[in-house]
Amino acid sequence: MFANLTDKFQIIFKKIKNKGKLNENDIKNCLHEIRIALLEADVNYKVVKEFISDLYSQVQKEKISESLTPTQQIIKIVNKEITKILGSKQNDIIINSNPPTIILLAGLQGTGKTTTAVKLAHYCREKGHKPLLIATDIHRPAAIEQLQVLGEKSNLPVFSMGRNENAVNIIKAAIKYSNKKDIDILIIDTAGRLHIDDKLMSELQGIERNIPLQEKLLIVDSMAGQDAINSAKIFCDKIKLSGIILTKLDGDSRGGVALSLKKVLGIPIKFIGLGEKIDDFQSFYPERMASRILGMGDVLTLIDKVESAYNEKELKILDKKIKNHNFDLNDFYFQLKKMKNIGSVNQIMDMIPGFNNIKNNINFNKLSNEGNELKKIEAILSSMTIEERENPYIINGSRRKRIAQGSGTQIQEVNRILKQFYQLKEILKKGPIIKNISFH
> Which CATH number is 80's domain given?
1.20.120.140
DSSP string, 177-197: HHHHHT--EEEEE----SS--
Question: pTM higher than 0.85, yes or no?
Answer: no
Please report whether residue 438 resides in a domain: no
CA–CA separation, 227 and 108 (whole Å): 11
Query: Count of domains in the chain?
Result: 3
What mean pLDDT is reported for the chain? Answer: 83
Residue 48 has pLDDT above 90, yes or no: yes
- Looking at the fold, whether 227 and 116 belong to one and the same domain comes out as yes
**Cβ(189)–Cβ(133) under 8 Å?**
yes
- Per mean pLDDT, which range of 70-79, 83-92, 131-140, 390-399 is the poorest? 70-79
CATH number for the domain spanning 356: value is 1.10.260.30
Least confident of 206-210, 363-367, 427-431: 363-367
- Residue 170 and residue 132 share a domain: yes
Span 228-245, pLDDT tens digits? 888 899 999 889 999 999
DSSP-derived secondary structure letter, 66? G
Indicate if 117 and 251 belong to the same structural domain: yes
Q: Has residue 439 been placed in a domain?
A: no
Using the predicted structure, report yes or no on whether residue 361 has a pLDDT greater than 60: no
Whether 286 is covered by a domain: the verdict is yes
Do 312 and 283 reside in the same domain of the chain? no
Among candidate residues 296, 323, 338, the one where a domain is terminated: 296
pLDDT band at 209 (very low <50, low <70, confident <90, very high): very high
**How far is it, in rounded angstroms, from Cα 177 to Cα 171?**
10
- pLDDT at site 117: 96
Task: Calculate the CA 236 to chain-centre distance.
Answer: 24
Last residue of a domain, one of 29, 57, 86: 86
Q: How far apart are CA 333 and CA 312, in angstroms?
A: 19
Residue 304, C-beta contacts closer than 8 angstroms, at least 6 positions apart: none
Q: Region 396-416: what's the mean pLDDT?
A: 92
Asked whether residue 436 is assigned to any structural domain, the reply reads no
333 and 411 assigned to the same domain: yes
- Under a CB-based contact definition with an 8 Å cutoff, are residues 131 and 187 in contact? yes
Asked if 147 and 135 touch (Cβ cutoff 8 Å), the reply is yes
224 lies in a domain? yes
Most confident of 157-166, 249-258, 354-363, 372-381: 157-166
Name the pairing type of β-strands 101-106 and 185-189: parallel
The predicted model gives 40-58 an average pLDDT of 92
Q: What number is the average pLDDT over the span 168-191? A: 94
Q: Calculate mean pLDDT across residues 253-268.
A: 87
Please indicate whether residue 93 or residue 140 has the higher confidence score (pLDDT): 93
pLDDT at 160 > cutoff 60 = yes
Q: Do 242 and 135 lie in a common domain?
A: yes
Give the model's pLDDT for residue 346.
Answer: 59
pLDDT at 415 over 80: yes
| 344 has pLDDT over 70 | no
Q: Are residues 158 and 175 in the same domain?
A: yes
Q: What is the rounded average pLDDT of the residues 148-167?
A: 92
Whether residue 143 lies inside any domain: the answer is yes
Closest CA to 294 of 112, 20, 75: 75
Q: Are 275 and 76 in contact (CB under 8 A)?
A: no
Report the pLDDT value the prediction gives residue 440, as an integer from 0 to 100.
35
Amino acid present at 8: K
Q: Spell out where 108-170 has E strands.
A: 131-135, 158-159
308, 279: one domain: no
The answer on 247 and 125 residing in a single domain is yes
Give yes or no for a contact between 117 and 147, defined as CB atoms under 8 angstroms apart. Answer: yes
Q: Strand pairing partners for 103?
A: 187, 215
Single-letter residue type at 255: G
* Integer Cα distance of 58 and 52 in angstroms: 10
Are 137 and 143 spatial neighbours (Cβ–Cβ below 8 Å)? yes
Tell me, yes or no, whether 388 and 335 share the same domain. Answer: yes
Q: Are both 304 and 402 inside the same structural domain?
A: yes
Q: What is the pLDDT of residue 73?
A: 83
Strand partners, 218: 106, 244
Q: Could you tell me which residue, 270 or 428, shows the higher pLDDT?
A: 270
User: What is the model's pLDDT at position 436?
Assistant: 43
User: Does residue 60 lie in a domain region?
Assistant: yes
Residue 391 has pLDDT above 50, yes or no: yes
Please say whether the beta carbons of 151 and 115 come within 8 A.
no
Residue 103 is predicted with a pLDDT of: 97
Answer whether residue 96 is part of any domain. no
Q: Name the domain boundary from 296, 318, 349.
A: 296
Q: Which residue range(s) make up the domain with 191? A: 101-296
Q: Quick one: 263 and 155 in the same domain?
A: yes
